Amino acid sequence: MIESYLRQSALDHLGLAARAGDAPAGAAVIMAEKTLPAAVNLRGNKENPAFAAAVLEALGLQLPLEPNSVAAGDGLALLWLGPDEWLALAHNAPPEAEAQLAAKLRAALGDLHAAVTEVGESLACIHLAGPRARDVIAKGCPLDLHPRAFGGVGHCAQSHLAKTGVLLHQVGPENNGAPAFDLYTRRSFSDYLWRWLEDAGREYGLVVVAP
């Protein structure tokens, strides 16, 4: 019987917990792994009112229809990925949360033609924040992250960062004014992406912190 504490996050092998400290005041960029996200990929027909209603019933969130927008609720976010694709995300959730989230959606969707797929295990989440966070990302990502172009907090986009595909979700600024992003990549690419980001942030004095 394997206990859930034996779960390993995508970047487990880097021993980040031992390296992470508190963010020093005025750090230009901080970076952390947000371990073991729970995530469910959702496909469906937004034209069908029953579909949005089922999602609302299951998640308590309005289905975001604006491209690259995010509906956020209590510990749960629903990200627009495409005209018929969304991603429900939760952090700091127990191991069974992902399956439960998927089950709730499946139950609400019933016989509707939709696809609910658990994908959280396939994702790594790297949190990057600070006044120079945008500059670090811009080194490898062709998206314009300026608030006027990207939309600021509550927006997301799929793109590439260096040689990996990423899903960017802007989660800050909240209080301190500096932008904050959650960057999701496929688990197997996360080692490369983490090392790439650390290198890109070096000139700004990037600091690894606890999530």
Partner 1 sequence: MTGRMRLPQGGLVKRDETLSFTFNGKSYKGLAGDSLAAALLANGVHLVGRSFKYHRPRGIVSAGAEEPNALLQVGDDPRTEPNLKATQVELVAGLKAAAQNAWPSVDFDVGAVNSLAARFLPSGFYYKTFMWPASAWKTYEHFIRRAAGLGRSPSRRDPDRYDKTFAHCDVLVVGAGPAGLAAALAAGRAGARVVLVEQDHLLGGALLSQPGAAIDGKPALDWVAEAEAELAALPEVRVLKRTVCHAAFDHNFFGLVESVTDHLPQPPEQLPRKRLWKLRAKQAVFCCGAIERPMVFADNDRPGVMTASAVRSYINRYAVRPGRRAVVFTNNDSGYGAALDMEAAGIEVAAVVDTRPVPAGPLSERAEALGLRILSDSAVIAVEGKKRVRRVRIAELDAEGKNWVGAPQVIDCDLVANSGGWNPTVHLFCQAKGRLRWDDVHGCFVPDKAMQWGQHVAGAANGAFGLGACLREGAAAGAGAAADCGFAEASSAAPQAENHDFLPGRWLWLIPGEQPLGRKAKHFVDQQNDVTAADLRLALREGYSSIEHVKRYTTTGMATDQGKMGNVNAIGIVAEALDRHLPDVGVTTFRPPYTPVTFGIFAGRDVDDLLDPVRRTPMHAWHERNGALFEDVGQWRRAWYYPREGEDMHAAVNREVKATRDSLGILDATTLGKIDIQGPDAATFLDRVYTNGWLKLGVGRCRYGLMLKEDGMVMDDGVTTRLGEQHYLMTTTSGNAAAVLAHLEDYLQTEWPDLRVYLTSVTEQFATMTLSGPNARSLLAEMTDADLSPGALPHMAFTPGKVAGVPARIFRISFTGELSYEINVPASFGMAVWQALMTAGERYGITPYGTEAMHVLRAEKGFIIVGQETDGSVTPLDLDMSWIVSKTKDFIGKRSLTRADMAKPDRKQLVGLLTSDPQVVLPEGAQLVEKVLPQPPMPMLGHVTSSYWSPNCGRSIALALVKGGLARKGETLYAPLADGRVIPCVVAESPVFFDPEGERLK
Q: And the tokens for 190?
A: 């996360």
Pairing between β-strand 207-208 and β-strand 30-34 as defined by DSSP bridges: parallel
Residue 162 binds to partner 1 (criterion: CB under 8 A): yes
Nearer to partner 1, 60 or 94 (CB): 94
Residue 84's Cα: distance from chain center in Å?
Answer: 19
Considering only residues 186 through 205, tell me which ones interact with partner 1, judged by CB under 8 A: 186-189, 191-193, 195-196, 199-200, 202-203, 205
Residue 152 binds to partner 1 (criterion: CB under 8 A): no
Nearer to partner 1, 8 or 175 (CB): 8
| Among the listed residues 53, 72, 135, 154, the single contact to partner 1 using CB under 8 A | 135
Q: Do the Cβ atoms of 46 and 65 come closer than 8 Å?
A: yes
Pairing between β-strand 180-186 and β-strand 164-172 as defined by DSSP bridges: antiparallel
Residue 121 binds to partner 1 (criterion: CB under 8 A): yes
Residue 149 binds to partner 1 (criterion: CB under 8 A): yes
Q: Do the Cβ atoms of 129 and 179 come closer than 8 Å?
A: yes
Distance CA 149, CA 34 (A): 26
| Among the listed residues 8, 18, 47, 177, the single contact to partner 1 using CB under 8 A | 8
Nearer to partner 1, 75 or 192 (CB): 192
